[in-house]
Copies of this chain bind each other. A is one copy, B any other.
Amino acid sequence: VAPVTLMAENESTANEVRIGALAQATGVTVRTLHHYDAIGLLVPDARSPTGRRLYSQPNVRRLYQIVALRRLGLSLEEIAGTLDQNPDLIETVRQHLARVEQGLELQRRLQRTLTQVLEQFERDDQPTLDQFTQAIEVMTMIEDHYTPEQRAQLEQRREALGEEGIRQAERDWAMLIETVKTERANGTEPTAARMLELARQWQTLIEQFTGGDEGMGRSLAAMYREQGPKAASRGMVEPELMQYVGQALAALQEAQ
C-alpha cells in the first residue's frame, strides 16, 4: 500500500499545489487559506489520500483574483459575490470608491478636530480633563454646524481677538447670563424695560460672534435648535432661561 500512496502524492505535484507552496507564492498565510476554505470562498479541488489540500490551477487563478480584489478593500463576501455571480465589476468598484471617499471625508474631519484641539492647548500647560472635554465638544459641534468657509471665518476672528480677547468675551457672556438669571429669579417680566436693555446687550454679543454675517447667524441658530441650548452653550444656558431671553429678544424686535 505504501508505494501506491507515495505515487499518488508524487503524481499530484505535477498540476496541483500544496497549501504551503501556494501561500508562499501568493503572499498570504496558510491560516488565511484555511479560512477561505472554511467559508467556502476557495475550496481546493482535491485532497491527497492523507487529507492534504491540493489546489488545482483554476484554484490558484481564483486565489490571485481574490487577493487582487482584497487589495481594493472589498469584503470577502463582496469578493465571493463578484467571483461567483459576476455582477457588474465596474459598478461594484464605483460603489466601493464612493464608500472609500465617504470614509476619507470622515477621517479628514477627525483630523481637523484633533488638530484644532491640539492647537488650542499646545502652548498652554496641561489643560484639565474638563477643559479638554469641552474643547472636543465645541470642535465637534463646529464641524457639525458650520460650513468650511464659516469655520475659516471663526478661526480668523479668534486670531484677531487673541487669547485675552476670547477670555474677555467669555467673561462678558458669563456676567450677562448671571444678570439675566437673577432678573428671572426675581420675577421680572421679559418685556420689562430692564430686560429689554439686557436683550440688547445679548444681541450685541451675538453679533460680535457672528461678525454680523447672516449665514453665520443662521448656523448658530440651527445649532441651538438641534442640539438644545444647554449643549450648544456648553451648559451655560438652560432651556428655560433661553426661552425667557427669547421672549425679551422678541419684545425688543417689536419695540424697534
Whether B65 pairs with A114 at a CB distance below 8 angstroms is no
Cβ 8 A contact of A104, one of B64, B72, B111, B113: B111
Q: Contact at B89–A126, with CB atoms within 8 Å?
A: yes
Residues 104-152 (chain A) with a chain B CB within 8 angstroms: 104, 107-108, 110-111, 113-115, 117-118, 121-122, 126-127, 129-130, 132-133, 136-137, 140
Q: Chain A 79-122, CB within 8 Å of chain B: the 1/0 string?
A: 00001001011100110110011011001101101110110011
| In the complex, chain B residues whose CB is within 8 Å of the CB of A76 | none
Instruction: Find the B residue at minimum CB distance from A103.
Output: B107
- B-chain residues with CB within 8 Å of residue A129 when the two chains form the complex: 65, 83, 86, 89
Q: Kindly list chain B residues whose C-beta atoms are within 8 Å of the C-beta of A137.
A: 68, 71
* Cα distance A104–B108 in the bound complex, in angstroms: 8
Chain A window 54-72, contacts with chain B (Cβ cutoff 8 Å), 1 for yes, 0 for no: 0000000100110011011
Minimum CB–CB distance for A29 against chain B, Å: 18
Docked complex Cα distance between A3 and B65 (Å): 71
**Distance between A58 CB and nearest chain B CB, rounded to angstroms:** 12
Residue A73 CB within 8 A of the other chain:
yes
Which of these, B65, B111, B132, contacts A101 with CB under 8 Å? B111
Shortest Cβ distance from A114 into chain B, in angstroms?
Answer: 4
* Chain B residue nearest in CB terms to A131: B89
Do A118 and B104 have beta carbons less than 8 Å apart?
Answer: no
Q: Which B residues touch A110, using CB under 8 A? A: 72-73, 100
A68 to chain B, nearest CB (A): 4
Given contacts A100-B114, A110-B72, A111-B97, are A90 and B122 in contact (CB under 8 A)? yes
CA distance A108 to B97 in the complex (A): 11
- Collect the chain B residues with CB atoms within 8 Å of residue A122's CB: 90
Task: Known A83-B129, A104-B104; judge A136-B69 contact (CB<8 A).
Answer: yes
A72 to B113 CA separation, bound complex (whole angstroms): 8
Collect the chain B residues with CB atoms within 8 Å of residue A104's CB: 104, 107-108, 111
Q: From residue A239, how far is it (CB to closest CB) to chain B in Å?
A: 13
**A71 contact set on B, CB distance < 8 A:** 113, 136-137, 140
A-B contact pairs, 15 of them (CB 8 A): A68-B133, A69-B136, A72-B114, A90-B118, A90-B121, A90-B126, A93-B117, A94-B118, A96-B114, A97-B115, A97-B118, A100-B107, A104-B108, A104-B111, A107-B107
